[in-house]
Amino acid sequence: MKLRYHLLLLLLVAGILLSGSALARQDSLLTAVDSILQRIDHTRIANYTMEVRLDVATKTISGQMELSWTNAARLPAADLRFHLYYNAWRNDKSAFLNSVRYHDRSGWNDYRDDEWAYCEVSSMKILGDTLFPEVEVSSALEYIQPNDGNEFDRTVLRLPLRRPVFPGETIRLALTWETKVPRTFARTGAIGDYFFLAQWFPKIGVFEPEGLWNCQQYIQTEYYADFGTYDVKLTVPRGWVVGATGREIARSDNPDSSTTHQYYQERVHDFTWVTTPHFQEFHQTFESPGLPPVDMRLLLMPDHLDKKERYLESTAAALKYYGSWFGPYPYGHVTVIDPAYQSGSGGMEYPTLFTGGTRWLSPPGTYSPESVTIHEAGHQFWYGIIANNEFDHAWMDEGFNSYAQQRVLRECYPPRELSKRYLEGFLPYVFSGVEILSRTGGADPYGGFYSDFKRDPMAVPSWRYGPGGYRLNSYNKPALMLQTLENYLGWETFQKVLSTYFQRWQFRHPRPADFFAVVNEVSGRDM
């Protein structure tokens, strides 16, 4: 196997140097490389085995990890790159805190020294096998800033390799690291004894088919990662309830009054978890004709016990309609988190887990938690299964999901005469005496941006959007575009477009051109 990869690389170089039939030789060799890559399981590119311990007193996570990464690109990888997202809150000079989306916010000005964050890799080594010798590589690690050159930003870590990882090869690494959990910010962190832990571990970037790393600094967007298998042991104080990506497959009490919870999940591109002693746990099975059953696990804060049925019913509504319109939910389980008050962790999606959000006084007519629950459950499809690049094309999940969310709301929760839902928010705004608003069926993406048509175009990479442009271009414009396509093509044709796109690109990383191609193919028109 090793000889074959080296031979392919040698032939590639020789083919380029030879005169006359150089292009033909190169094309032939790339065809051979592609045949190797076609045998790769793209749901197992980045596989993590982790053992971590949460110290609730110091708000730190100590962890050990083994990572298995396969090069699924057509060119060798000369280095490896990792996201260290928590370093975005290491200091106030990071790219994140100086982005157009966050630079004018003063919330972190009152952070105490112990409320900031970090993610530090203390050791890394390549694990030996027939392809790579075992070697300690910690001294070779370096922080890089590929987007803006900000020397104070430490959200991307690079490991230069002594020899590259050739197409189809797999390299295994062992890492030891520590993460300091911040006071809640940007939907992660700790408040009191509630810990919501997202983007908390060193995560390898995506090596694109063209042979370039997509491992952006953490600036103002969301995330992008390859699919893989996660096997994670989480040690927390005994009696604390844990919710996490995947299913709990083992639990053991330890002599030091802690408990280790082991979670396992295949075919996902992230791992997030939450823990607190206060959760109340409920289970209900989603069942709908033609769709596989799903175990819905709800972790509810005690002051929201009256919202139990509303959380579960709205989760089931999303699973039913998204599943019947686009394709079935494939995992068999989902965890719904009711976030703690003022935790800043509400309304966010992760594989097989999402957070809702509600208030103590929230009558049914407010659609809280229903609207946000449907939106975040819907992200299990548009983001979780269809894993677009959120750094560059955030509209490909937020826009699709906002469009579909409004469709579910119209099916399940017809708007009252005096309510109007805007796509840029999850709660309805109420206007007295304006009955005509109900004629739109609650979907009015135009109302979300009619006052400003001069924001960045959607085609601009999401991390480069100017002030106010992120929500507009990620949610409103694409939702309106999709609603317009539905109106133009008709629901029957457009539903076939979306289901074809979903089935074809699930567990992969589609780009805008891939969606446009499906639209043209299914509609039979050059759109």
CA dist 421 and 441 (Å) reads 9
- Mean pLDDT within 88-96: 88
State the amino acid at position 521 in one-letter form. Answer: E
Which one is predicted more confidently, 416 or 246? 246
State the amino acid at position 125 in one-letter form. Answer: K
Both structure tokens of 509:
């990383």
Which one is predicted more confidently, 149 or 422? 149
Helices and strands counted in the chain (H then E): 9, 25
Q: What is the DSSP string of 391-432?
A: TT-THHHHHHHHHHHHHHHHHHSPPPTTEE--TT-SS-EE-T
Residue whose pair of structure tokens reads 């490896």 in the numeric block = 80
**182 has pLDDT over 80:** yes
Q: Can you give the pLDDT at residue 9?
A: 52
CA dist 281 and 301 (Å) reads 9
**268 has pLDDT over 60:** yes
Q: Can you give the pLDDT at residue 111?
A: 78
Residue 438 banded pLDDT, cuts 50, 70, 90: very low
CA dist 145 and 216 (Å) reads 8
Q: Which helix (H) or strand (E) holds 344?
A: none
CA dist 423 and 11 (Å) reads 54
CA dist 123 and 176 (Å) reads 5
Please tell me whether the overall predicted TM-score, pTM, comes out greater than 0.75 for this model: yes
Condensed to tens digits (0 to 9), the pLDDT of residues 316-371 reads: 999 999 999 999 999 999 999 999 998 888 889 999 999 999 887 787 777 889 99
Are 295 and 258 within 8 A, CB to CB?
A: no
Domains of the chain in sequence order: 2-37 (no CATH), 46-276 (2.60.40.1730), 280-523 (1.10.390.10)
- Mean pLDDT within 78-85: 98
| b/e 376-413 (16+ beta carbons within 10 angstroms → b) | bbbbbbbbbbbbbbbbbbbbbbbbbbbbbbbbbbeebb
Are 390 and 470 within 8 A, CB to CB?
A: no
| Cα atoms found within 13 Å of the Cα of residue 60, Cβ hemisphere only | 9
Coil, helix or strand for 437? helix
CA dist 331 and 443 (Å) reads 30
Q: Which helix (H) or strand (E) holds 200?
A: none
CA dist 510 and 396 (Å) reads 9
**437 has pLDDT over 70:** no
Q: Which residue from 507, 506, 58, 61 is spatially nearest to 273, judged by alpha carbons?
A: 61
Residue 228 banded pLDDT, cuts 50, 70, 90: very high
Proportion of the chain above pLDDT 70, given as a percent: 83
Q: Which residue from 437, 313, 432, 300 is spatially nearest to 364, judged by alpha carbons?
A: 313
CA dist 420 and 408 (Å) reads 15
Which one is predicted more confidently, 431 or 141? 141
Please state the φ and ψ torsions of residue 235, each to the nearest 5 degrees.
Answer: -105, 125
Please report, in angstroms and rounded to a whole number, the separation of the first and last CA atoms in the chain: 45
Please state the φ and ψ torsions of residue 507, each to the nearest 5 degrees.
Answer: 65, 30
